[in-house]
Amino acid sequence: MELQFGAIIIGDEILSGKRADKHLAKLIELLAARGLSLSYAEYIGDDRPRLTAALARAFDSASVVFSFGGIGATPDDHTRQCAAQALGVPLALHPEAVALIEERMRDVAAEKGEVFEPRRPDNVHRLQMGNFPQGARIIANPYNKIPGFSCAGRAGGAVHFVPGFPVMAWPMVESVLDQHYAPLFHGPARQERSVLVFGIGEATLTPLMQQLESAHDGLRVFSLPSVDHPVHGAHVELGIKGLVATVDQAWPALIEGLHSIGAKWSTEMVRQA
């Protein structure tokens, strides 16, 4: 089975509209640059039960999931705690993470011309950012050294936790992809091929779509209706995607099926899938 990639994007500020999410589009871009694609995404507010349930599903899947946000040490940051609960393990200070956080605090103190006081209450509290589910490994943060973390799932996948700040999160995602998933990059070529169908609804096209999928293993058939397109008017984009060889094999059957129902359609459109 092809490995799937997913995303969990966390924060009340996203759902309220206070901040616009930028992670989804960027993750799609980073994956596409490596010949990979995103299979699913989920947005979740700062809600512990809901987040714990989502992470439990992620850990029970065979997917590689990137989780954005909520790994700080303020009261509205719940991701570390929810990840531990979803895995059924305790939180524990990660020695390497603690060393990196302390190094960051020393740097900040030096920049301010202050003496680093490791036992000062606020500095002690900052160490909680290295409190990860037991067994986690760190993800280096090239921006400010405060690490993220990765946890193996129960079905062969993994969840990688990065901050909500794009300037930190995106280089960390790239590092995870390049260090751990390079053998998957630019696998067998995949293609999407489609046409715009005019004057026929999706219900009429459904039997043809079902026939194509059942006749060709690994083929995905899709329809995308539009009712008010400024150029083409009402139409349905009908297409198939999969390995290039599979698409090449199935395409004549799609065209023949459109002929058989008297459809009118546009020139074909071809994209990398």
Domain boundary among 133, 165, 184: 184
Q: 56 and 11 in one domain? A: yes
Q: What is the pLDDT of residue 273?
A: 76
| Residue range 114-138: mean pLDDT, rounded | 92
Percent of the chain with pLDDT over 70: 100
Q: Is the pLDDT of residue 271 over 60?
A: yes
Q: What is the pLDDT of residue 92?
A: 96
| Residue range 169-187: mean pLDDT, rounded | 96
Q: What is the pLDDT of residue 91?
A: 96
Q: What is the pLDDT of residue 86?
A: 98
Domain boundary among 148, 166, 184: 184
Domain count for the chain = 2
Q: 202 and 176 in one domain? A: no
Q: 145 and 51 in one domain? A: yes
Q: Which domain holds residue 39?
A: 5-184
**Mean pLDDT for all residues in the chain:** 95
Q: 156 and 65 in one domain? A: yes
- Contact present, 62 and 156 (Cβ < 8 Å): yes
Q: 153 and 22 in one domain? A: yes
User: Alpha carbon of 191 to those of 1, 127, 213: distances in Å?
Assistant: 18, 47, 15
Residues 131-152 have pLDDT tens digits of 999 999 999 999 999 999 999 9
Q: Environment class of residue 146 by beta-carbon count within 10 Å: exposed (0-12), middle (13-18) or buried (19+)?
A: buried
Q: Is the pLDDT of residue 1 over 70?
A: no
Residues 61-107 have pLDDT tens digits of 999 999 999 999 888 899 999 999 999 999 999 999 999 999 999 99
Q: 100 and 42 in one domain? A: yes
Q: 206 and 152 in one domain? A: no
- Contact present, 3 and 35 (Cβ < 8 Å): no
DSSP codes of every residue in 199-263:
S--HHHHHHHHHHHHHHSTT-EEEEEEEEEETTTEEEEEEEEEEEHHHHHHHHHHHHHHHHHTT-
Q: 195 and 99 in one domain? A: no
